[in-house]
């Protein structure tokens, strides 16, 4: 008997009754268009800058809710409002999406981040599925081509590194490529990317996983192997690792690749054993592969999205492999996460805790936190737990 199914109603109820109402009430910019993401604890706006990847994530989330939870016209209208604003104001002359806009749509930050394109792919693809808008479909495909073209130099001319230094490959680029190809297949109804998707998943497992140290590296030398002599080379992000693994497990299961499912599940287990704080609980934000000092001063913080992605990873790993250790990890993560992140006064979740589990920031949204990781986790969790939908 899968006893984890008993958790599903809490996740579904929190999504419908808490998280969606908070964002639908506070994030729409009904005067200028698109959304406010910098929301204080009570939902009040403390900055009107529109950070592109947060904006596109909101478009995607609203459409995914419309496509999978309930065909509520309010959600689709809010998504369309954001999509039209971002497509009108968000691109430079070469079609690259800026990193940030002013409230009225004026460009504020150059398009140095490939992840602006990344989340435009998701937002446009999901909007096409919801509305049938052909222009959104074409923009999803165009933005994906732009994303893929930046593989060798993701930051383009804004790269700070000078020629002659070590060339590194980043886990973030490839894990999101897996996800983007899955999103395009799901929302556009095409299987054009299936073979490359599976090759990319295998590339992640072959190149970023170190079987001796049993960790998934964040950055690896382009020439192969692992760089243990530098901070960048030893840098680990357990949240990225488990998120990448549930992307791979989810798409591998649909393709009938149980071998990839099992390999990814093993990585999830290793990452949790390595990244869990045995003194205070929770998963460290950043770590060093050899336990050396970490350059990031916030390395020992506990972040909402890391726990969100870990919960999804262990729930899916348990459903796909039946291994009891994943059920044990789910209960441990669930108890720790739900005891500390939900805000009992204003709703939604805190995002940033110190090592001891105390909030360091009370904001509900900002430059990085938005309407994405938490609602996505809550939406997917009943399915990942094996609940019939």
Helix (H) / strand (E) element for 361: namely strand 359-361
Any idea what the Cα angle at residue 62 is, between residues 56 and 64, rounded to 5°?
A: 100
Average pLDDT along the chain: 97
Helix (H) / strand (E) element for 46: namely strand 45-47
State the Cα–Cα distance between residues 53 and 170, nearest whole angstrom: 18
Q: Could you say which DSSP state residue 157 is in?
A: G
3-state secondary structure of 109: strand
3-state secondary structure of 281: coil
State the Cα–Cα distance between residues 217 and 96, nearest whole angstrom: 29
State the Cα–Cα distance between residues 71 and 79, nearest whole angstrom: 12
Q: What is the DSSP string of 289-317?
A: TTSPPPS-TTTT-EEHHHHHHHHHHHHHH
289, 376, 269: which is closest to 332 by C-alpha? 269
Asked if residues 386 and 373 have their Cβ atoms less than 8 Å apart, the reply is: no
State the Cα–Cα distance between residues 59 and 53, nearest whole angstrom: 10
State the Cα–Cα distance between residues 372 and 338, nearest whole angstrom: 18
Q: Tell me what pLDDT residue 376 has.
A: 99
Q: Could you say which DSSP state residue 103 is in?
A: T
CATH code for residues 28-160: 1.50.10.20
Phi, psi angles (nearest 5°) of residue 100: -150, 150
pLDDT band at 389 (very low <50, low <70, confident <90, very high): very low
State the Cα–Cα distance between residues 30 and 36, nearest whole angstrom: 10
Burial of 162 (0-12, 13-18, 19+ CB in 10 A): exposed
Q: 194-207 vs 171-188: helix axis angle to the nearest 10? A: 160
Q: Where are the alpha helices (DSSP H) in the chain?
A: 8-14, 20-26, 52-68, 73-89, 114-131, 134-149, 171-188, 194-207, 231-234, 238-254, 258-275, 304-321, 324-340, 373-384
**Within the chain, which residue ranges are assigned CATH 1.50.10.20?**
28-160
34, 68, 62: which is closest to 48 by C-alpha? 34
Question: What percent of the chain is predicted at pLDDT more than 70?
Answer: 99
Phi, psi angles (nearest 5°) of residue 302: -115, 120
Q: What is the DSSP string of 320-337?
A: HH--HHHHHHHHHHHHHH
3-state secondary structure of 352: strand
Q: Tell me what pLDDT residue 248 has.
A: 98
Asked if residues 154 and 118 have their Cβ atoms less than 8 Å apart, the reply is: no
- Checking if the pLDDT of 29 tops 50, the result is yes
- Checking if the pLDDT of 367 tops 80, the result is yes
Neighbours of 202 (CB within 10 A): 16
Asked if residues 125 and 81 have their Cβ atoms less than 8 Å apart, the reply is: no
248, 246, 258: which is closest to 313 by C-alpha? 246
Per-residue pLDDT tens over the stretch 187-234? 999 999 999 999 999 999 999 999 999 999 999 999 999 999 999 999
Q: Tell me what pLDDT residue 343 has.
A: 98
pTM exceeding the 0.95 threshold for the entire prediction: yes
Any idea what the Cα angle at residue 80 is, between residues 79 and 82, rounded to 5°?
A: 65
Give how far the C-alpha of residue 8 lies from the chain's centroid of Cα atoms, to the nearest Å. Answer: 21
pLDDT, greater one: 165 or 72: 72
**Mean pLDDT of all residues in 246-262:** 98
Token readout for 245 is: 């693994």
- Checking if the pLDDT of 57 tops 80, the result is yes
Per-residue pLDDT tens over the stretch 134-167? 999 999 999 999 999 999 999 999 998 888 888 9
Whether CATH 1.50.10.10 fits 168-353+369-389: yes
State the Cα–Cα distance between residues 196 and 207, nearest whole angstrom: 16
**Within the chain, which residue ranges are assigned CATH 1.50.10.10?**
168-353+369-389
């Amino acid at each position: 008997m899968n006893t984890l199914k008993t958790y599903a109603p809490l996740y579904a109820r929190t999504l419908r009754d808490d998280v969606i109402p908070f964002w639908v009430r506070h994030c729409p910019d009904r005067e200028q268009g698109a959304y406010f993401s910098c929301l204080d604890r009570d939902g009040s706006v403390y900055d009107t800058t529109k950070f592109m990847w947060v904006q596109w994530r909101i478009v995607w989330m609203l459409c995914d809710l419309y496509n999978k939870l309930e065909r509520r016209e309010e959600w689709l209208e809010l998504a369309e409002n954001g999509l039209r604003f971002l497509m009108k104001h968000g691109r430079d002359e070469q079609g690259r999406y800026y990193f940030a806009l002013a409230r009225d749509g004026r460009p504020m930050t150059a398009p140095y981040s490939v992840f602006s394109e990344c989340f435009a792919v998701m937002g446009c693809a999901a909007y096409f599925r919801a509305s049938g808008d052909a222009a959104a479909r074409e923009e999803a495909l165009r933005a994906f081509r732009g994303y893929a073209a930046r593989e060798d130099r993701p930051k383009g001319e804004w790269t700070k590194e000078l020629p002659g230094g070590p060339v590194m490959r980043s886990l973030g680029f490839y894990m999101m490529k897996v996800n983007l190809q899955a999103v395009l297949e799901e929302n556009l109804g095409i299987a054009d990317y299936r073979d490359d998707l599976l090759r990319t998943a295998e590339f992640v497992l072959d190149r970023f996983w170190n079987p001796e140290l049993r960790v998934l590296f964040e950055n690896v030398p382009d020439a192969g192997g692992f760089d243990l002599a530098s901070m960048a080379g030893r840098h680990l992000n357990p949240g990225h690792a488990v998120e990448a693994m549930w992307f791979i497990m989810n798409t591998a299961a649909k393709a009938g690749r149980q071998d990839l499912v099992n390999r990814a599940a093993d990585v999830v287990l290793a990452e949790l054993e390595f990244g869990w704080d045995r003194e205070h609980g929770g998963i460290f934000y950043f770590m060093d592969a050899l336990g050396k000092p970490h350059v990031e001063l916030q390395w020992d913080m506990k972040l909402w999205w890391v726990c969100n992605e870990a919960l999804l990873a262990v729930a899916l790993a348990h459903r796909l492999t039946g291994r009891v250790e994943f059920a044990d990890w789910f209960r441990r993560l669930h108890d720790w996460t739900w005891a500390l992140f939900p805000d009992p006064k204003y709703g939604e979740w805190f995002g940033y805790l110190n090592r001891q589990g105390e909030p360091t920031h009370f904001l509900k949204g900002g430059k990085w936190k938005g309407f994405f990781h938490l609602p996505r986790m809550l939406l997917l969790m009943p399915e990942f737990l094996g609940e019939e939908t």
